Structure 1
Amino acid sequence: MIRLFIGHSDAMDSPQNADERSIVVWDGSPQLKNPLLLVAFEGWFDAGECATGALDWIRRRSEARRVCHIDPEEFYDFQESRPHIEIAPDGERLVRWPAVECHVAPAAPPHDLVLLSGIEPRMRWRTFCEGVVEIASELGCQMVVTLGAMVAGVAHSRAASVKGSAASTDLAKRLGLDRPTYQGPTGIIGTLHDVLDRAALPVVSLRVGVPHYVAGPPNPKGTRALLSHVETVTGVPTGYQDLDSSVDAWEQRVNEAVERDPEIVAYIRQLEAEADRSESENLPSGDDLAQEFQKFLAEQRQAGEPDGAGGD
């Protein structure tokens, strides 16, 4: 006997009903306090698994519970992202499908966190992004913060560089963030920003640079940097300091690996010198950004925009 892990509705077995059912399968609708939606996807924009690792870290450290998932049937090629067979403690076989799950993490004031993560979908991105809009709207999320990681010419021995941006001119100016300048092929995060902007849902991007010569997962230094900036922006404690020992161990392993190659050592010294010469800040000062962020959300609430089911 095989038991499906994801609780699909009966309509899932009828292909003709695919366009009639909601792609978001809800477990419940919780009462939340000024919620923020954090989003990360495995794939192109998750070098070293830093972004999804940050959300996993928050989820594991909190009493997070799943509130919904996005039905995978319409968005994945199961020959590419294959479901896994697992054996449950009771001996039954489980089919674990590729999943994009949404968890709620009750946090310290001023915000509860809504965590959405999973494998980057393969197909129907616009429809998928409309499902994310449904989740944000249903839960009353005041803002969406996407997390990402990309390979870059940075040294593993220097502070991980995190950059923040917002496609909305007004929002970028208000929070002192950059506007995106990249042009070219994009991933699900770029598509999601466009859909959220069109839906008038405020969205910002935080992304960390990962050394291209050591881009494989896990990369606790990149994860720590993202968690630190999430705490800076939202004011919600993330416990990123508890990753310090993992970061030290990771740096030691990289040092031992690269010291055998004089050319790589010389290249890293060059990257270190460039980082040391740079005096620019990746984000506005923590106090200034956090203060402006909270002022912006307070004004959104006062203007009658979604403020979460729990309100103030």
Structure 2
Amino acid sequence: MDEKSTLYELEFPAPQLADDEGDGPVLIHALEGFADAGHAIKLASDHLRQSLDSELVATFSTDELIDYRSRRPLMSFTGDEFTAAAMPELTLHAIRDNNGTPFLLLSGAEPDLRWERFVAAIGALSDQFGVTSVIGLNAIPMGIPHTRPSTITAHGNSKDLIGSLPRWGSELKVPGSASMLLELRLGERGLATAGLSVHVPHYLSQAEYPAASHKLLESLGEVTGLDLPTAALANAAEKVRTQVDAEVSGNQEVESVVAALETQYDTFNQAQQEKASLLAAEGDLPTGDELGAELERFLADHAQNEAATENDAESRDGDDKGDGAAG
């Protein structure tokens, strides 16, 4: 048996996931753990499975992939005996959007162990189902206020896939995750890959924050063309916003922190809009050759003006000397 296939159990029969034109599905991975601030990844993946037509494709062996000592499962105890254990799950589901378009959703606990074997297994499943592109979902804590719209940044090996979504824009070295390795290795296999990272107010990173999940699914629909349900998450986000506002109100220290974050958020957005406004006029800017020619003309004129100024100065000095001799 192929070693990587021992990491999962495949359901039988496997679903047919090609669309009407014969194209394979997009694979979305939503791994909880390392980058799931505000539980946005779990909320988003649970919402997709519960609100759309969903079919189990594969179940991964968490005994092979999870270090239970680092993330100990919760167990239920009655006072006399243990009655249940909430073991972590990692599954692959086939889901159809509101228009019936199929996609794959890999969701659950991020593996602690055997990342390369895990990625190889996902690569084999991607080949089996004809996956065309791969998109990872992440949620990271940031210094932003809950009173402003959620923001998102994107990255990936396909500019066509992530379109005009904001980028990080600078080189970084960051601690790795299974999600990041999936993006890297599947990209090396020739697939179009991308990652969407929603930003969660850092002071709410441990609470459920459905506004971030709503933004993730909106952006996911934008880059994939999938018609995904978001109304329930939007409603949940409004309720959480009301609750947080009530908790913040009257606490001067917290209010001042939120106000400072609002100022920072608004200043950054204004700067970005002004930059975009300047870039929008880029087509009317002079070319490099035109700028070079203009610079040469400027330097030539500047040299002529300096020469004329020197000649005038020498002429005045001569006149002064003549006047002095006459005196």
TM-score using structure 2 length: 0.71
1:264 to 240, 254, 266: 254
Find the aligned partners of 1:237 and 1:257 in 2 and give their Cα distance: 35
For 1:251-290, what aligned pairs fall within 5 Å after superposition? 251-277=241-267, 278-279=269-270, 280=272
1:219/1:84 CA distance change after superposition, 3 Å: same
Tell me if 1:30 matches 2:15. Answer: yes
Decide whether the 8 Å contact of 2:140 with 2:197 is kept in 1. yes
Find the aligned partners of 2:3 and 2:234 in 1 and give their Cα distance: 47
Q: Which residue of 2 aligns with 1:39?
A: 29
Unaligned runs of 5+ in 1: 1-16, 87-92, 285-312
Which of 1 and 2 has greater Rg? Answer: 2
Q: What is the DSSP-based 3-state SS (H/G/I as helix, E as strand, rest coil) of the residue aligned with 2:237?
A: helix
- C-alpha displacement of 1:146: 0.3
For 1:1-312, what aligned pairs fall within 5 Å after superposition? 19=3, 22-28=6-12, 29-32=14-17, 33=19, 34-82=24-72, 97-109=87-99, 111-166=101-156, 168=157, 171-172=158-159, 175-176=163-164, 178=167, 181-277=171-267, 278-279=269-270, 280=272
1:135/1:148 CA distance change after superposition, 3 Å: same
Amino acid at match of 1:211: P
- C-alpha displacement of 1:235: 1.8
1:260/1:125 CA distance change after superposition, 3 Å: farther
Unaligned runs of 5+ in 2: 77-82, 277-327
Report how many aligned residue pairs link the two structures: 258
Structure with the bigger percentage of helix: 2
Task: Work out the percentage of aligned pairs sharing the same amino acid.
Answer: 24
Q: CA RMSD in A?
A: 2.7
- Post-superposition Cα deviations, 1:52-106, rounded to whole Å, max 9, x if no partner, equal 21111111011201011222222112333445678xxxxxx77664221011112
Find the aligned partners of 1:226 and 1:183 in 2 and give their Cα distance: 24
1:18/1:83 CA distance change after superposition, 3 Å: farther
- Post-superposition Cα deviations, 1:120-163, rounded to whole Å, max 9, x if no partner, equal 11111111111221222211111111001000011101000011
Greater relative CO, 1 or 2 (CA 8 Å, sep 6+): 1
Find the aligned partners of 2:202 and 2:8 in 1 and give their Cα distance: 36
TM-score using structure 1 length: 0.75
